[in-house]
Structure 1
């Protein structure tokens, strides 16, 4: 009986030693996960309306409010081009209109006649020129108003999109997962997103 007890005691000591040896090799790591503060400003629902209002009051001011200063010269170039073409077409229209009025008054010394008083451009041509430049003036006004409206829309949309959260919390990464029980590797893709 004594030998049986001593054998059980030896087995128990060996088993306990093995158990403690394995426990030392297993390291348990605990990490404390701390939620980080977002690095973006909180959502301001009035920011798009404010940017649109600023652009309506003074073109380019909404872009400055959004911090997109590089867009301001584009806004003024677009509006300036529309105004330039309106003024140029208005000047050409006035030339044709003045020549047409002088022809109706019986004068032959307009700018569209040669030195002898013979017309270079016919009276019908003067009417067509007036219609052409009048149409171009109207298109220039429409383009200028369209650019003004586009300036307001751009400021509003940019203010909306600047508050859109584009962070690294949303990612797609390939992973390799090693299964400890079966000893096999598992392959796959993970889509990580945090709210």
Structure 2
């Protein structure tokens, strides 16, 4: 008799639990994820790097950072200027030294109002100008690569939502126990 009672009790519990289904208790949550009006473009960093590699400053213009274009051209132009200047001076010293070895007049022989440079000074000038020319070339190539990387990095960072809801603010707080200042950095998330 108790067996039938337990079976009836368990069966009635199943029917009772089944009658309170999830359809009656639906809780709707509002989506709070910020979506940008510009959709995510995975190729944007690669495209900016490609444009900068083809024409320096074009990647910065693609990122709509037009104020960086004169900086790119100024940096690259300065490197090219110093390369050209050092290469010209190197060629002048080299030509003068070759003419002096042949016994011919040159621009550094001291004749006709020209300054006089010894053979040793011409050799040192060649070495110095060649070193400076090579360094100028290396710096110019590094600046070129740097502007390509900058365009790619900037395009990548433009796709992130950076606003005041995420802040890092260093603060100076007085410690109550010893009355000394303590430097603290706090990372705040606002939802």
Instruction: Classify the TM-score, shorter chain.
Output: 0.5 to 0.7
Matched with 1:62 is: 59
TM-aligned CA deviation for residue 70 of structure 1: 0.3
Determine if the alignment matches structure 1 residue 49 to structure 2 residue 46: yes
Counterparts of 1:73 and 1:118, CA distance in 2:
40
Q: Which has the larger radius of gyration?
A: 1
Counterparts of 1:73 and 1:52, CA distance in 2:
17
For residue 160 of structure 2, give the secondary structure of its aligned residue in structure 1.
coil
Q: TM-score, normalised by structure 1?
A: 0.66
Matched with 1:106 is: 103
Determine if the alignment matches structure 1 residue 162 to structure 2 residue 162: no
Q: Which deviates more, 134-143 or 162-171?
A: 162-171
Counterparts of 1:90 and 1:144, CA distance in 2:
14
Within the candidate set 132, 136, 141, 1:140 is matched to 136
Residues 123, 41 of structure 1: CA spacing in aligned structure 2 closer, same or farther, 3 A cutoff?
Answer: same
The answer for unaligned runs of 5 or more in structure 1 is 1-32, 173-190
For the 8 Å contact 2:76–2:140, the answer to whether it is kept is yes
Residues 77, 95 of structure 1: CA spacing in aligned structure 2 closer, same or farther, 3 A cutoff?
Answer: same
Residues 34, 143 of structure 1: CA spacing in aligned structure 2 closer, same or farther, 3 A cutoff?
Answer: closer
> Over residues 124-179 of structure 1, what are the superposed CA-to-partner deviations in whole Å (9 max), with x where a residue is unaligned?
1111111111111111111110111011000011001111111344479xxxxxxx
Structure 1 runs of 4+ with >6 Å offset: 116-119
Determine if the alignment matches structure 1 residue 120 to structure 2 residue 116: yes
Determine if the alignment matches structure 1 residue 89 to structure 2 residue 92: no
Residues 105, 48 of structure 1: CA spacing in aligned structure 2 closer, same or farther, 3 A cutoff?
Answer: same
Counterparts of 1:40 and 1:168, CA distance in 2:
18
Counterparts of 1:53 and 1:42, CA distance in 2:
21
Report the RMSD for the aligned CA atoms in angstroms: 2.7
Q: How many residues align?
A: 144
